[in-house]
Structure 1
Amino acid sequence: MKITIIAGARPNFMKIAPIIDAIELRQQQGYPISYRLVHTGQHYDANMSQSFFEQLGIPQPHVNLEAGGGSQAEQTAGIMVKFEKDLAAHPCDLVLVVGDVTSTLACSIVAKKMKIKVAHVEAGIRSGDQHMPEEINRMVTDAITDYFFTTSEIANGQLRREGKTAEQLFFVGNTMIDTLLKHRSRFHAPPVWRDAGLQPQQYLVMTLHRPANVDEEAHLGLLISEIMRNNHGLPVVFPVHPRTAKQLERIAVAHPRLHLTPPMGYLEFNYLVERAKAVITDSGGITEETTVMGVPCMTLRDSTERPETCTIGTNVLLGTDPAALGPAMEQLFAGDWKKGDIPPLWDGHAAERIADCFVKLFKLEHQSATVA
């Protein structure tokens, strides 16, 4: 079985790393499975892309399509045009896409139009908010996918309601947690740890990048003001996404306890998260990591595609109203934040289960071809 693996943006890299490891292990065991890694170039900044390959031990991609930049439509079209040519030159049995970024959607469409089957890792998750580009990506990708690798029974239920069959669904767990657990012992402090004199449990980590939070300058300013006003005097470390950096320049945010940094590598960022008093974010993936590490998490969104981080884990949805931050902070500093637990199969072995599914699918395809 020849598998083409698609990666294009920072969230993808954490999810494909353990899958590649698991495929290579099956190869060593004699299974006829091979892969080709295609980097679409959606994230082309070194801190958003290259550092993740280096830190997570991901092999250099067989090709980088260099299709980053431009509007949503331009980027989607650029990836599709370049991937179509690459796939024609390097045909495969299965295209594996992960997550919900533009690359996921674009490459799924190309593969299906070229009559190649698609498997989706992290399938079936939904926020219910179609104003998010990621939600459109998830819905369209799952509408044409052949095999669905899911992180929860909630996702399974969603896919069943959409008409997917039991034979298409594989509840395998969360590959991003595979990466987290594998590399946890390698986390190391970024420069801000020393420069700001940080101490465990005595600072907050913040990330913001979604349009609802950062596109309006006044709203972004209010969010930051509320966080700094209610944080009981603790430092706040804010690795700034490129999208957010442009807005921060306009509103000239400055506070002695607010530490703005460039985007961090995986090992440095999670060192901070693991030791933080709490995390304030609008990222979905970070809520999964805080859940597994037992770190309180406040999500500045009205909905989430990862409800298990709220029902089982340490995450709480606050919405986008800055006024919600004060009461949440008081609960945190009163010691009343929920302890949380770890969702089923978030155990570090999801990629192994996916590789086992590849073996089974190969056997089924081989049997079908023999019968035919």
Structure 2
Amino acid sequence: MAAVIDRPNLLQRIKPVFQGFDVLLVLAIVLLAAIGLITMYSVGFDHGTRFANHARNMLLAAGVLFIVSQVPPQRLMMLAVPIYVVGVVLLLGVEFFGIAKKGAQRWLNVGVVIQPSEIMKIAMPLMLAWWFQRREGQLTATDFLVAGLILAIPAALILKQPDLGTTLLVVASGLFVIFFAGLSWKLIIPPVVLGVVGIAVLIVMEPEWCAPGVDWQVLHEYQRQRVCTLLDPFKDPLGKGFHIIQGMIAIGSGGVWGKGFMQGTQTHLEFIPERTTDFIYAAFSEEFGLAGVIGLILAFLFLIFRGLAIAVEAPTLFTRLLAGALTLNIFVYAFVNMGMVSGILPVVGVPLPFVSYGGTAMVTMGIGLGMLLSIAKAKRLMQS
């Protein structure tokens, strides 16, 4: 008699693919994605096809997130060095063969036009987590110096393009890994103190240092102007200070409850520059008010705390460092964007995660969150 073979049905075949997903992290992602779609529809309904394109970018990022989440952490670790090397090579390609737009040389044509600095947002925490995993149990000061060199090479290439915003994000992602790996507070506190003192001196000396013709040498002229504009945007209210001033007006005019869905006057009368990209937080604040802003911040905190919980529970040093850095990257994105729009940080062109329009940034975010889900999934499957 022939043996009867029970073939699994479709549900049984696809169940392992979805098994082990961190429900709370997925819920946080879906919540922020919904806020992003609602916001883009509200502020971009009279701005061409921005909403449709934003929804398409989200679907693309969701697909990338799902695919990356299926890659086990061990495979991610194997990919760390190749991705980092490719990223540095592409950055060198930008230096010699890059495409220049609006005074910046940040793009490279490799059949399609890409921005290699975006790769380093993922490659940097991967590479440094791989390095510290290899040196686990035998870390010395030299290992931290090597980590600093790994971070400095691409950061210098990105800064030269120039792209201060992306440089800050890449450096932050690397410093998070180095900090979590056990960098001594004795090495952390001095530069923080110097930074605070430097900012205080800059504020006091602002009339002299921001006078016309003064060269700061270490910064490009447009970067110097952004810092000086932050310190006193009303010196040039219709020029360089226009963005910050209009952003603050929009945030303040929203009040507690906001002007309502699709009702923002600053937004739709086009007083807010870049209202669907870098300054979308100002448009969001005007239409949804303080209550909406608190809800948005709570949604980001939900995601960040869940990501840090995954990092704490991760089984290996590599996964702990990677999960922690990827999670705090989202914090840096949100903090810097909200800070620059609110007038407490210089304008550096950092998008608000899930909310700002932009395909490359959305896909990069999807890759990072996919890695985070992969780490959480690996932990859950090990426990089951």
Q: TM-score interval w.r.t. the shorter chain?
A: under 0.3
TM-score normalised by length of structure 2: 0.22
TM-score normalised by length of structure 1: 0.22
Greater RCO (Cα-Cα under 8 Å, separation 6 or more)? 2
Identify the structure with the greater strand proportion. 1
Identify the structure with the greater helix proportion. 2
Rg (Cα) greater in structure:
2
